[in-house]
Structure 1
């Protein structure tokens, strides 16, 4: 999808630009530094559960207010990669700056301000918070964090974003779905080792044991033998101790595993190019009883797996 403000002659293009970005990401307001002469271009693509866009525009200030997300049910993160200059971001008590060679994480479930004073080019990924949580754990501390992209996995992640954008017009739906999964995994891998995303109590031994157990589960969701006992043995702790750790978080090991598996199943069902049956998708992620899978899925997402797949394909057909 391509959009340009050059197509509009409105004296104030702030509202026009804000409406288009609200459709692409989520509801927000825009204040253009020079509303009458403001110029902006936006290209956007769907990559399965993830959205990817490239924009270039003049100086602008964005507001995401509480009323914008008060009724939203599904939280998202925006990952911004600037190219021509710094962007500034303020959320909660954090006020940060991100320039070329890094990427910024923005939480969509909290108010924020985002701005750049001069014309800039940005790559932006919209990622479901649940998908990041199923791979990385708690996302509460991610907002306003910047991550280095000049080396290591961070550089690989940004390079993969670049390659995807350059080749997107040659990639069919199935390939775009897989590209989205690849970018999502690289994003989470690039953030995983950063101590800033850990819970505030992560320095305690018990919290460290719980974090290691949760990460083992997230890394082994497709293992058909994944069980409470296997998690305990792999983390070098007793089953009883592991059960107490999860009980302290008002959760159970079985419930935690089921929740993360449901998220992965939902991702697969939302991939237009995924040809596996609902039963095969459920089986791949550890659900061997189809009736139980459908029951848990409906309780979590408010509809059946078949309803989700049908709705996604109808939307894709309308857009196509």
Structure 2
């Protein structure tokens, strides 16, 4: 993670922290235009064209995040592309502070430490986005979004439970099952698909973890899957490798 200088950089997500001066930078993508002020960051899609410019020399901090990694933590992260987020104070400030310190420590870190720090950065980014009020209101009414956010928080805290299903989520969140399904019609996945994808991403992180002594069956059960054979077939269908193959690939130099 190093500071970059220039007019254009390519990455799925970029967090541009304008450090050198108080000039704002201009960014436009997918019909959205924004002037990012000093102390902010922008999320972008690398596979789509964009415009980016500034009047004075600027230091740009760039962080590349896989869509699946961010999508496992935030529902439909594409809705936040082209938006400016304030990086002053709170969890956003912690995210930026950590981002700034990594280049100084990177060479001294082991591969295991680098991976752990990278995961923490993505977690902090997700928390930073969640802390923004627009997370509740973007793309739908504030009431529906508030219900959906409550469901999301419940699922993320409980997706290890095998009994997690629409009935349990709806009951614990104080809504009907029918309304729960209506909420997820506004997204690109059903409730069941979203829970499955969350679990798969958690399993991938477990399999990549250095030094873990957990067997694949233990990981399967602790992430809410009830049948190892079914889990293995689903994992290979989603990831392209069996769980064992994925674990071996992850430890290759």
TM range (shorter): 0.7 to 0.9
Determine which of 78, 84, 92 is the counterpart of 2:20: 84
SS at match of 1:217: helix
Shift in Å, 1:186: 1.1
The structure that has the greater radius of gyration is: 1
Equivalenced residues, count: 250
> Whose strand fraction is larger, Structure 1's or Structure 2's?
1
Shift in Å, 1:267: 3.4
Unaligned runs of 5+ in 2: none
2:79–2:139 Cα contact (<8 Å) kept:
no
- In structure 2, relative to structure 1, the CA distance for the partners of 1:89 and 1:249 (3 Å cut) is closer
1:121 equivalent in alignment to 2:121? no
1:12-58 deviation line (CA, Å, top 9, x unaligned): xxxxxxxxxxxxxxxxxxxxxxxxxxxxxxxxxxxxxxxxx21343x
Distance 1:82 1:173 in 2: 29
TM-score by length of 2: 0.83
Aligned to 2:232: 294
Determine which of 77, 96, 102 is the counterpart of 1:158: 96
Distance 1:223 1:165 in 2: 38
Aligned to 1:201: 140
1:227 equivalent in alignment to 2:165? yes
Distance 1:242 1:154 in 2: 30
1:216-245 deviation line (CA, Å, top 9, x unaligned): 213432345533333112211233443454
1:34-85 deviation line (CA, Å, top 9, x unaligned): xxxxxxxxxxxxxxxxxxx21343xx33276xxxxxxxxxx93232333214
Distance 1:273 1:122 in 2: 35
Taking the TM superposition and a 5 Å limit, the aligned residue runs for 1:1-320 are: 53-57=1-5, 60-62=6-8, 76-85=12-21, 86-197=24-135, 198-203=137-142, 205-223=143-161, 225-246=163-184, 251-271=189-209, 276-314=214-252, 317=253
Distance 1:274 1:162 in 2: 29
Shift in Å, 1:304: 1.9
- In structure 2, relative to structure 1, the CA distance for the partners of 1:309 and 1:76 (3 Å cut) is farther
> Whose helix fraction is larger, Structure 1's or Structure 2's?
2
Distance 2:212 2:54 in 1: 39
- In structure 2, relative to structure 1, the CA distance for the partners of 1:222 and 1:117 (3 Å cut) is farther
Distance 1:275 1:134 in 2: 24
Distance 2:187 2:55 in 1: 43
1:237-289 deviation line (CA, Å, top 9, x unaligned): 23344345446758543332112111222234345565644333333321232
Distance 1:210 1:196 in 2: 14
- In structure 2, relative to structure 1, the CA distance for the partners of 1:304 and 1:237 (3 Å cut) is same
1:78–1:106 Cα contact (<8 Å) kept:
yes
Unaligned runs of 5+ in 1: 1-52, 65-74
Aligned-residue CA RMSD (Å): 2.9
Distance 1:251 1:275 in 2: 33
Distance 1:144 1:249 in 2: 19
Shift in Å, 1:189: 0.8
